[in-house]
Structure 1
Amino acid sequence: MKIAMVSTRDVPVWENDHVAGLAGALRALRHNVTVHLRQASEPEETESSLGGFVDSLRDKWSQDRPDLVHAHSWKAGLAAVLAAQRLGLPVVQTFHGLGPDRDQVNVERLIGREAALIVASGEQEVLDLAAAGIPRPRTVVVPRGVDTVLFQPRGEIARRRFPRRVVAMADSSPDSGVADLVAALPWLDDVELVITEARAPREAERVKAWARRFGVGDRTRVLGPNARRNLPALLRSADVAAFVPRRALWDDAALKVMACGVPVVATAVRGLPDAVVDGVTGVLVPSQDPKQLVRKLRKVLKYDVFRHSCSIAATDRIQARHTWTVVGECVERLYAGLLERRAGDAVG
């Protein structure tokens, strides 16, 4: 099978990691995969920049025709749909979560109606897509993949300074929930909070100021975006990882944590309940409920048997649903079914 994947460089790193992981899994299944990356353009998008990318894709596919196109993100999807229409190529679309504003959602609705198949990462995304007016019958769920060679329970473990450690992978924006974690720390004895993914010095300073205000400056550490090779050791050093945003979270961070055998405490916002099974691989808490957050963190930190059972269940769930081998085989079946239906329609 010859597959053309379309993505852009101006998306979060985890989205391009997803494209690379899926492409690698399909190549391992002996498919011919070409990834077309649109370069990050100027801050203000122009019709000419999109048009140039569309023309480039159309020219390449006219000379070397793929069996299907799989686009990732709405910008890539728009280019893919426009380039594929004239050539009669089927487009598979993965949005990685819908946009925050009406204009983007309108474009995503257009892409969803033109695509032959929509791939969602979980049931909540399916509901969001349907609410946005994207046809439900053409939407299927494929779990996200994670690199289980890099992220696994065995390996180097980072040293820690306190008996217990909570790790959070989040920036310090108001809706990230980091402030809620810092506020919870005074109620958790002998626990340190390590926050990674701070993207700028001012973010680190903001978190440190919060920690000083709550009297936990000595138990709060803020790291920059960890080099990929160092992140597994940090995750394995945690007793629990906390993801408590107030907004939708679609990335694969919780899966990386679970692959390392670490239980998760997460808010029940879009995206996270698909990854975290409440009471099995971790616990879910209501958003912006500080008492429940402290209570659930205490539960996981205090009860060793529960924490270890969540750890085992987390790695089992990753191996069963989220390895790139499993995800690649699932996507392969979807592609094959789509092409068979199109061939049947052509004969009919």
Structure 2
Amino acid sequence: MSVARELGREHHVTIYSRRDNADGKPKTRVAPGVTLEHIDVGPAEELTGDDVVPYLNEVGNQLMKRWNQDRPDVIHAHSWTGGLVAVAGAKGLGVPVTQTFHTVDTTHMELERALGRRANAVIAGSGDEESALIRLGVPRGNIAVVPYGVDTERFQRRGAVATRGSRKRLLHVGPLSIDRGSHTIVRALPGLGDVELVIAGGPEPEDLDQDRDARRLRALAEQLGVADRVTLLGQVKRAAVPKLMRSADAVVSVPREAVTGIVALEAMACGVPVIASAVGAHLDSIIDGVTGLLVPPDRPARTARLARELLYDPTLRTALGYAGADRARSRYSWERVSQELVRVYEAACA
């Protein structure tokens, strides 16, 4: 939605979505230049990609009717289901279709390969995703890399800071499952002396005691003798994340996969140094040793070593913080991302 709002400053953007709840108007103006149109097909509830398949033909028919009446200049489909309805709806109109998959779905590879080869352009969010698309069989020349952006107005160096104590603070933002890296940071904590780890994410605070991942994380902290230095906040309101990030000495984001790398980008925009896993979008956004520090996922000992170097070297923290903030503003602002998308759309229309 953020990039749609930015595009809507100079273009008219219509977002089409199959209605997945009983609320809302058929058409809603969500921002200047941006309209959301619901398509009433199938049950008004959230469905998985496979579960929505029986309704795709009718969604495509409805899009064709709408686009015949109000022909778009370019279509941008997200996911393989979006690609199928975009192709069906644009049939005979001569409208270029661009495609984003976000991740290559191993259960629908043949379908995604066909959609990627048919699209006028396939837009990847990172160099890592571009490589996956090439391995899938999408022609290299048909792929454009446009990164995921960050709200540099909300996430910036200056602003309110969450309260904290005297201990040095590491922050993890995101789900609590093992693949998202919080367990790696807890395992690194015994080697870090008097350092606290604050974890924001997972269920609502009142539901933490019943959450399986939260219980596992707490049990691990108890086993390692660091429970008194680990704080689970649960789900944090979006508006509170910037001040929480600014309260940290470093943000650690070490998932096994990083499709968007958004947590690292937000921390960088806040001028907070980042330790991130050397995967996915992190490989583009973080220049190791310059705008942050990279570490292989699931390496608690190495993560601890990098955290020690960072926490006890204020000059390094300052240098990484300033360089990270500059890179986030110059390369990953929504204004810059929208400009790059427009160039891809224009090339597809040429």
Report the TM-score when normalising by structure 2.
0.86
1:162/1:190 contact within 8 Å kept: no
1:163/1:190 contact within 8 Å kept: yes
Secondary structure of 2:307's match? Answer: helix
Segments of structure 1 that go 5 or more residues without pairing to the other structure are 1-19, 341-348
Is 1:256 the counterpart of 2:260? The answer is no
How far apart, CA to CA, are the structure 2 residues paired with 1:37 and 1:333?
25
- CA offsets 1:259-278 (integer angstroms, 9 cap, x no match): 11111111212222112110
How far apart, CA to CA, are the structure 2 residues paired with 1:171 and 1:218?
21
1:177/1:244 contact within 8 Å kept: yes
How far apart, CA to CA, are the structure 1 residues paired with 2:244 and 2:81?
34
2:102/2:259 contact within 8 Å kept: no
Amino acid at match of 1:67: D
1:289 equivalent in structure 2: 299
Question: Displacement of 1:145 after TM fit?
Answer: 1.3
Return 267-276 or 229-238, whichever deviates more. 267-276
1:164 equivalent in structure 2: 168
Return 252-261 or 282-291, whichever deviates more. 282-291
1:13 equivalent in structure 2: none
Secondary structure of 1:61's match? Answer: helix
Out of 182, 187, 190, which is 2:186 matched to?
A: 182
Q: 1:46 to 1:220 in 2, by over 3 A?
A: same
Amino acid at match of 1:69: I
- CA offsets 1:32-89 (integer angstroms, 9 cap, x no match): 1111123444456143322232222112111111011011223222221222234322
**Same amino acid, percent of matched pairs:** 40
Q: 1:69 to 1:220 in 2, by over 3 A?
A: same
Out of 316, 323, 345, which is 1:335 matched to?
A: 345
Q: 1:47 to 1:94 in 2, by over 3 A?
A: closer
2:218 equivalent in structure 1: 208
How far apart, CA to CA, are the structure 2 residues paired with 1:56 and 1:284?
47
How far apart, CA to CA, are the structure 1 residues paired with 2:174 and 2:231?
13
How far apart, CA to CA, are the structure 2 residues paired with 1:22 and 1:231?
20
- CA offsets 1:150-208 (integer angstroms, 9 cap, x no match): 11111110011342111112322232221111011111122111112213631322211
- CA offsets 1:106-158 (integer angstroms, 9 cap, x no match): 22212111110011122111111100111111101112211111111111100
Q: Please give the residue correspondences for 1:117-266 in structure 2 after superposition, counting only pairs within 5 Å.
A: 117-199=121-203, 201=208, 202=211, 203-266=213-276
1:119/1:140 contact within 8 Å kept: yes
Segments of structure 2 that go 5 or more residues without pairing to the other structure are 21-45
What RMSD, in angstroms, separates the aligned Cα atoms of the two structures? 1.7
1:321 equivalent in structure 2: 331
- CA offsets 1:268-296 (integer angstroms, 9 cap, x no match): 12222112110011111122222211111
How far apart, CA to CA, are the structure 2 residues paired with 1:186 and 1:47?
49
2:125/2:259 contact within 8 Å kept: no
Report the TM-score when normalising by structure 1.
0.87
Is 1:45 the counterpart of 2:58? The answer is no
Q: Work out the number of aligned pairs and report it.
A: 318
Amino acid at match of 1:302: Y
1:32 equivalent in structure 2: 12
2:61/2:88 contact within 8 Å kept: no
Secondary structure of 1:146's match? Answer: coil
